[in-house]
Structure 1
Amino acid sequence: MITVSIISPKVSLQAINRVIEQNDFGCIFHKYVYHTLEEIQDIYYKCKDHCDIIFCSGEFGYYQLMNIPNIEKPCAFVSYETKHFLAIALDFVQTHPDIPLNRIYCDFLIPSNNYLDLHRYLRPELMPHCCTDPVLSYETLFHTARELWNEKKIDIAFVRSTNSLKRYEDENIPYLYIFPDDNTIADSIRSAVSTAKLLLSSVVHKASILIRLVCPDNLLGTELEYQNITFLKALVDFRKEYGASFSVQTFITYFQITWELEDSSHLPALLRSLILYLDTHSEIPFRLGAGLATSLSNSLEQAEQALNESVHYGKNDGFLINEQLRLMGPLSVQDPLHVSYDNEKIMKFSKDNGINEGNLQKIIGLFLKNPRQVLTSSLLAEWLNITPRSCNRIIQKLCLTGLLTQIHTEGSMEKGRPVKTYCFNETACFSTFF
């Protein structure tokens, strides 16, 4: 699977993280934050041996990378095209008719991108002010803005360089922060991943699957042996019926499956088929955890973590940790949840509000799967495999923080407790966790 190193200022990385959370790009992301352009070269030497392509949040970082002698990795960035600028300019002049384009400074119109070819679309007298210095740096870009402001040649600056925003604030220069929308970021990431795939040869992925049998402590040795043999037969029958090519190792209370795949995108569906097959053809309770990586040791480590999640879930089901280190599951359902465990905001919210982190991760996974999902305590209980009473306590905490809103109550008090339904507050969820 493709590994992408993202190099970005902190503010820009927040937007990129949001896009990554909402899309499955089928790759692994490593993230690096820089504060000055000079830091980028050090980051490059730190990440180049651990990625297939380097992705920058903007052109400034990209061109800094391209100045590194004998650079070994392909590079890409969140591309900003002429159409994007024209759309922003049109919206701005409609909402600010008193400020013409030629009273605006744009720090992303630079010689290296040929000023986005705006001269093809705008008359010279309408052109916004640009930085013409061939040396690209935050200092050069801001110096041009300050000079134009002091000379009263501009009324506002369109600023793309995130790390320069404080300078504009300190100098009291009005600015509009320009950053690509989520669709543009997603398209740029997909383009970068496609480029990396074209440059790289096919890689065989390693899947490790751990299946633990749930046996009573007082089970006799002969009975345990019989259960192992029976379960092994079910695994071998599945392998034969589905034409799979995995190997099986047998231990006292668990099985280890090793599976090499050229196309790892089919693994979740294969695991779902395996879980449903075992649930149907074996009476022995089991828990399944799977890991996917380019090395066997990493996939086995991920499988152990996924197995712990499966044990906690407590059903004949399974979970997968993929190469992006995202937890998927429960795998028996057609459209499992995708949970990311590197979201620090979810961790903090969980701690501050007394909600189990694993349960909160799954609820946010349910939100990302369908932001308009209607919730009840019973529905949530099915996903979390905890009691509706426990789910109701979680729901009430989320309502108090404004993340959920009660929308309807069914049934009357005479017939027992009414069924309450809730919906996610999309704006609050995105602002709180992404």
Structure 2
Amino acid sequence: MQIRILAIGPSDMEGIILEVGKEYPEFDIRYDTYHNEEEVVHIVTRLHSDYELILFAGSLPYHMVKNQVQLNKPMFYIAFEGTALYRVLFQLAMDREFHLLDRPINVSIDNLQKYEAEECFEELNIDVQNLYFYENDIDYDIENTVQFHYNLWKNNRIDIAITCVGLVYEKLTELGVHASRIIPTRSAVRNTLEHMLLAGQKKRQQDAQIAVGIIDLRSLRDDNQLTEYQIQRRILALQHILIDYGEKSQSIIKWSDRELKFITTRGALHLDNGKTAENKLLHEIYYKTELRPNLGIGLGHTASEAENRAREALKKAELNNSGWFILDADGTVYGPIGNSVPLSYSIRNQNQELLELAKQARLSSSTINRLLSFFKVHGKDTITTNELANGLGITPRSARRIINKLEKVNLVAITGEEQPVHRGRPRQVFAIQFDRLFNLTNEGK
């Protein structure tokens, strides 16, 4: 079965990508053309679920999607190398009106490494008087890129603008700027597809991993107020729900009085999609049986390995009393799933200094990793006890205990108070000493 790829780019890139793509029988590539920035995000959100990998014809649309859309799916872009500049310079050299080789020139360039462009001009003995680079690793806005070139042109500081972005080229020519467009070389496309082939094969191997899910059913018979008939009706409702779920997820269902277990593959669960069938399963169980079940999913190379991880994930769900958790084969925990922004963190740690710090604070290293994930996801550097409790899915008492322990090792400091909307005592606001924590985690990478 071929690896399904969604390729997105301007119309002038379609031919070269599909042509080089024919060299890879492992791929089934669909190319979608965009004409403005908004279309890029729209195409991805509309089509990504039908494809395993996403390819962008340049770095700018890639970063736009990465900054605006939450996708747990491998994405790649074709890098513009300095060698692609040779074609543009050759065309300019052949242009008798431009006189590339007869005079010093002033040039603006975007999306290329500075040293690569300088080497190209030097090797071709082109006299460059001023070379301006658009270097912005944070802002990937097309209008800003256009403005960069246009301002230089308007102020007579450049003779030509060289861009790697199709939309930028079109807008510059509309503004009357003398511009040239860099098209990536076939070798650059080929290199990217090689990386995608490896990533696709790795994803296929991951999708073949065993996935085991366990739902705790003990509360089904714990309600003493239910008659035996009511219990049997709940069991029948559960059976209907689970037969439908098993059919859709291609799962083997195993049932006992204490728990329900389903066995399938990672790929069948579609875990890269936030709106998973497992969320719907738990909601349906609640609405039809009034049970709030906990679910743990474990992933592994064997059924035994996956089941052990599922039980660990189930324990986390029971401790947090919220939603469900996934424990990946590499030791990464995801959850609680169902939160607006679920956390992901590792239960493993090889950073000795961080381990020592966790020991001093009397917290597990996975708790420290979980805290870091929370602050990274929510973009916070201050926190109240209630916010931490809600974010981690724990009780306020447990959150206070964590903060107190961090305070003792100088990782947390009180910075102010927050007055609740209703009557009550002001809540303390704590600041996390990010520099120390993040330096430690970065050292361990």
Q: TM-score scaled to structure 1, two decimals?
A: 0.48
Q: Which structure's relative contact order is higher, taking Cα pairs within 8 Å and 6+ residues apart?
A: 1
Q: TM-score scaled to structure 2, two decimals?
A: 0.47
